[in-house]
Structures are given as C-alpha cells and as structure tokens.
Amino acid sequence: MGHQILKTSRLKKLLDRAMPIILSLGVFLAVATVAGLIIDVVSSGWHRLSPGLLTNYASANPAEAGLRSAFLGTIYTVGLSAIICIPLSIATALYLTEFSGTGRLSSILRYNIANLAGVPSIIFGVVGLGFLVYGLGMGRSIIAGAFTLAILTLPLVTVTCIEAINTVPDDLRLGAYALGATKLQVAAHVLLPRALPMMLTGGILGISRAIGEAAPILVISGLLFIREDPVSLFDIFTVMPLQLFNWISRPQMAFRELASAGIIVLLLLLLGLNAAAIVLRHRLTRRLT
C-alpha cells in the first residue's frame, strides 16, 4: 500500500516536472512554423528580389513579371479603405463609450459589431459583388474593393478604438464634465488626444489585415491580368496577395520563385507597417505626456 502511493507519487512528480516541456511543444509548433515559413520563402525567393519586381507589370514571362499594378492596386484600395474605416471606427467608439450610455441600443450595436467580426471574409467579397459591384453599379472597381475592405476591418479597428478610450482615466473625463464641458468637448479635448496613439495603432492593424486579404478582393475583382496603372477610383484593379495567388497557382518553377520573392516583399511591407505602428505610438505617447 505505502509502496503503491510512493510509486504513483513518483510518477506524478516526474509528470509535474515534465509539464512545462510538454506544454511548450504547442509554442514550439508556432515558432517552428513561422521560422520554417520564413526560411523556405527566403531561400527560394531571395535571388529573385530586384527593383524590377516592383516596377514591372504582370507578364506571362516569369523573368519580366512584376508586381507593379498589384502594388499600386493595394495602395489605392487599402489607402482608401483606411480613409473610410478609421474615422468611422473612431466615431463609433466615441459614440459607444461616451454618447450612447449603456442602454439597449448601445448593447445591440456592440453585439452586432462582434457579429460582423465573425462573418467570414469571403462573404464580404460575395456581398460586395452582389451589392456594390452590381447592385449599386460600382463595377469591379477600386472603390468597390475599398468599401468592402473598410467594412471588413471595421470591427477590428473599432474594438481597438474602444479599448483606447477606456484607457483614459475617468478622473480627467469627470473633471472636464464638472467644469461644464459638453460631451463633444470631452471627446475632442480629453479623450481623443490621449487615445489617438492607440487608435492609430489599431488603424495600422486594420491596414495590415486589409493588405493581406485576398479572398474578398478575388471575388470582387476577379483574377485579372492588368498591365496598366490605375488612374481613377472606378478602374479595374488587382492587389498584391491576388497576384501572388496567381503566381502560386502556376505550375512552372520560375513562377514559384517569383511568388516567394513577392511574399518576401509582402511580409516586409507588413513588418514595416507594424514597426511604424510601434514607433508612432511611442512618439505620440511621449509628446503627450
């Protein structure tokens, strides 16, 4: 009997010791995937990196093919979507935190933001196609893509903006009200200046998400072969992840390498944006305090 207890307790002791190692396998899987992905992409794509990758148009010849129209398409579409999404998110966050109170309407609106976040991204594409492209007659245009991406990133950016406002100390808000400030004055002079750095970080988060989205844009723009710069918001377009999808789907080795090089560019762009977000946040916070 005593022997038995001793034995199970020894086993348990061993398991107790081993636990962090077993658990860290989950973490290892994540780290290994990121590392493997980067090594694979860089090793097969780095020798294809050249300025031509960004300045050349799409081509059936992998040696001449580049991301130019896709890169410009991404900048136009995502840029416009950010211009729509960020102010909308800030306004929404201000309303839900400061203006609406905690009534029924506010909780319904909040609930629907969570619901919108759960809608699969390709559904945004399908609805964008039915409603914006054909319903409202926007055509398969940059503006249809931008609106779709703006709505797609809206929940993410809004949630960050709400969190940003919640970090502003209550004392400051209440102090301002005590001095007779209106809600608008509190929003403009107390909340916004302090919450803005974090809100902009949220905006950049949304932009990164929008840059990587291929599925909804695929449905809206189709898989196009474009050899022109976009000049108007009603032009047809393609974006970087879609161009990569196109290259990945081709069987030739040369296109695979081209896709790897394109992925390096895309990941560097996202990395740069995230670094910018950190720097921006740091700078703005320092200036305000």
Partner 1 sequence: MIAETVARSIRRRRQQNKIFTFLFMSSAMVATVTLVIIYATLIYESIGFFQHVNVFEFLTGVKWTPLFEEKNFGVLPIFNATLITSAIAIALAAPAGLASAIFLSEYASMNVRSVVKPVIETLAGIPTVVYGYFALYFLTPEFLRQIIPGLGIHNALATGLMIGVLILPIVASISDDALLAVPADLRFGAYALGARKIDVVMRIAVPAALSGIAASIILAFARAMGETMIAAIAGGFRPVLTSDVRQAMETMTAYIAQVATGDAPHGTVEYQSLFAVGLFLLIITALLNFVGLRVVKRWAIKY
* In the complex, least distance from residue 13 CB atom to partner 1, rounded to whole angstroms: 8
Residue closer to partner 1 (CB basis): 26 or 231:
26
Site for partner 1 in 254-273 (CB under 8 A): 256, 259-260, 263, 266-267, 270
5 in contact with partner 1 (CB under 8 A): no
CA-wise closest residue to 239 among 49, 82, 64, 69: 69
Among 3, 5, 8, 25, binds partner 1 (CB under 8 A): 25
Instruction: Spell out the alpha helix ranges (H) of 46-103.
Output: 51-55, 68-94
Among 96, 142, 168, 261, binds partner 1 (CB under 8 A): 96
CA separation, residue 173 to residues 126, 130, 199 (Å): 43, 44, 18
Cβ(116)–Cβ(184) below 8 Å: no
Residue closer to partner 1 (CB basis): 57 or 245:
245
Distance CA 4, CA 44 (A): 57
Among 190, 191, 207, 215, binds partner 1 (CB under 8 A): 215
88 in contact with partner 1 (CB under 8 A): yes
* In the complex, least distance from residue 216 CB atom to partner 1, rounded to whole angstroms: 9
Distance CA 205, CA 208 (A): 5
Among 36, 169, 193, 272, binds partner 1 (CB under 8 A): 36
Residue that the structure tokens 């190692």 belong to: 21
Stretch that binds partner 1, among 70-78, 123-131, 164-172, 193-201 (CB under 8 A): 123-131
Site for partner 1 in 231-250 (CB under 8 A): 241, 244-245, 248-249
First vs last C-alpha separation in the chain: 67
| Cβ partners under 8 Å of residue 202, min gap 6 | 89, 156, 157, 159, 160, 161, 163, 164
**SS3 state of residue 289:** coil
* In the complex, least distance from residue 78 CB atom to partner 1, rounded to whole angstroms: 12
* In the complex, least distance from residue 88 CB atom to partner 1, rounded to whole angstroms: 5
160 in contact with partner 1 (CB under 8 A): no
Cβ(95)–Cβ(186) below 8 Å: no
Number of residues that bind partner 1 (CB under 8 A): 86
Among 15, 83, 174, 288, binds partner 1 (CB under 8 A): 15
Site for partner 1 in 171-210 (CB under 8 A): 182-185, 187, 208-209
Give 116-122 contacts, CB < 8 A, sequence gap 24+: 116/151, 116/154, 116/155, 117/155, 117/156, 117/159, 121/152, 121/213, 121/215, 121/216, 122/215, 122/216, 122/219
* In the complex, least distance from residue 122 CB atom to partner 1, rounded to whole angstroms: 5
